[in-house]
């Protein structure tokens, strides 16, 4: 199917979905957009912006077909972009008609595991609708929705088993403020996106406990190493920054090692950026807020919180990697461990 006739749907109306929809409409593409709440759609149509997220971002409404009917939106599309927080994925998708997903290309902008089942979105869609992994693609950073919406130069990574289709998808998003990268490590990049949110929680906790930049740099460097160990046990590859194994046969430039951006870059921006929800939530916890009080103060979803529990369970049952930082975050968030005492113990484990 040619680019000119490919129909794109967006599922979700949070900040990340809104930023990605902006990129697509900026590039001249018409989209179908599933929004759960009809009142949001009404406001969107009248004011030309999302009333709850990235409210300063205006849209060409004539390029958008809104609907609260997820089956209708999915059936009308060839490519379906899903950008719903992992905690709400099952409630959003489980009631959809499995037949509506037949022969669709799904692009996941999800950065978490489904709580309860610890499934990646591709595994859920395989069970729910029989969607094969060959029709599934992941869209990762390093990027924040706020900077994408503000048209600050950002990099998006598109991963899929079929890299030729991944390149077609990437081309739809590429413009003067979005650079795109493509790889085929579909499982590795998804777990990296989950882990970086857990480590950003840890970075926020350290900040809230009043650790300085020196400690934070050691913490994040160790988190990168810890992530690489986990991903290696999963079978991911190209996880070491600085390793280029081949050159492009046409340009003779060294082929990119995507560990530099989709792994390390996304980890760094999520741990350091003031836009990071996970860093902010961790900061509140480090300052002594209870988990419930911190969540109430945030008034938005921080994916690292449920992810820290999911990763603990996945690692304990399947991977069994050495993960002292992720385990420290898990104990603080889910085991009621004291943040100060837990990080004091963690200090001796960092190298």
Residue whose pair of structure tokens reads 């869609």 in the numeric block: 125
CB burial class (10 A; 0-12, 13-18, 19+) of residue 308?
A: buried
DSSP E strands: which ranges in the chain? 8-11, 31-34, 64-67, 79-82, 105-108, 136-140, 154-160, 178-183
**Matching residue, tokens 């290309």:** 105
Nearest to 343 by CA among 197, 229, 228, 212: 212
| For helices 304-314 and 86-93, angle between their N-to-C axes, nearest 10 degrees | 90
Q: 142 near 155, Cβ under 8 Å?
A: yes
Catalytic site includes residue 196: yes
Q: Could you tell me which of 88, 64, 63 has the C-alpha nearest to residue 12?
A: 88
Instruction: Identify the CA nearest to 281 among candidates 300, 266, 263.
Output: 300
Contacts with 100 (C-beta within 8 Å, 6 or more apart), sequence order: 70, 71, 74, 75, 129
Q: Which of 45, 94, 196, 232 is catalytic?
A: 196
Tokens representing 52 are: 């709850």
- Could you write out the DSSP letters of every residue in 205-247? HHHHTT--HHHHHHHHHHHHHHHHHHHHHHT--S-STT----B
CA neighbours within 13 Å on the CB side: how many for 36?
Answer: 14
Give the catalytic positions in this structure: 196
């Amino acid at each position: 199917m040619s680019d000119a006739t490919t129909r794109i749907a967006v599922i979700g109306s949070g900040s990340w979905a809104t930023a990605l929809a902006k990129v697509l409409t900026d590039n001249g593409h018409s989209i179908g957009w599933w929004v759960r709440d009809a009142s949001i759609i009404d406001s969107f149509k009248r004011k030309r912006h999302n009333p709850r997220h990235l409210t300063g971002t205006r849209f060409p409404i004539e390029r958008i077909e809104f609907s609260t009917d997820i089956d209708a939106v999915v059936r009308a599309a060839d490519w379906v972009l899903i950008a719903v927080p992992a905690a709400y994925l099952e409630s959003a998708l489980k009631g959809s008609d499995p037949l509506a997903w037949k022969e669709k290309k799904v692009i996941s902008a999800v950065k978490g595991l489904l709580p309860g089942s610890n499934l990646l979105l591709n595994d859920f869609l395989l069970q729910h609708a029989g969607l094969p992994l060959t029709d599934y693609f992941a869209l990762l950073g390093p990027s924040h929705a706020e900077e994408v919406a503000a048209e600050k130069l950002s990099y998006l990574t598109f991963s899929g088993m079929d890299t030729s289709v991944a390149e077609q998808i990437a081309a739809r998003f590429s413009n003067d403020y979005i650079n795109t990268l493509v790889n085929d490590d579909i499982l590795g990049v998804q777990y990296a996106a989950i882990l970086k949110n857990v480590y950003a929680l840890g970075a926020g906790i350290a900040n809230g406990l009043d650790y300085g930049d020196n400690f934070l740099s050691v913490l994040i460097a160790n988190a990168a190493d810890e992530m690489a160990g986990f991903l290696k046990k999963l079978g991911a590859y190209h996880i070491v920054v600085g390793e280029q194994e081949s050159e492009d046969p046409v340009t003779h430039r060294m082929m990119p090692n995507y560990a530099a951006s989709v792994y390390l870059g996304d980890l760094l921006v999520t741990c350091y950026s003031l836009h990071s929800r996970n860093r902010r939530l961790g900061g509140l916890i480090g300052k002594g807020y209870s988990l419930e009080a911190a969540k109430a103060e945030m008034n938005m979803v921080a994916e690292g919180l449920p992810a820290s529990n999911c990763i603990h369970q996945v690692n304990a049952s399947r991977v069994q990697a050495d993960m002292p930082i992720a385990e420290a975050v898990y104990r603080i968030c889910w085991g009621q461990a004291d943040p100060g005492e837990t990080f004091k113990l963690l200090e001796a484990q960092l190298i």
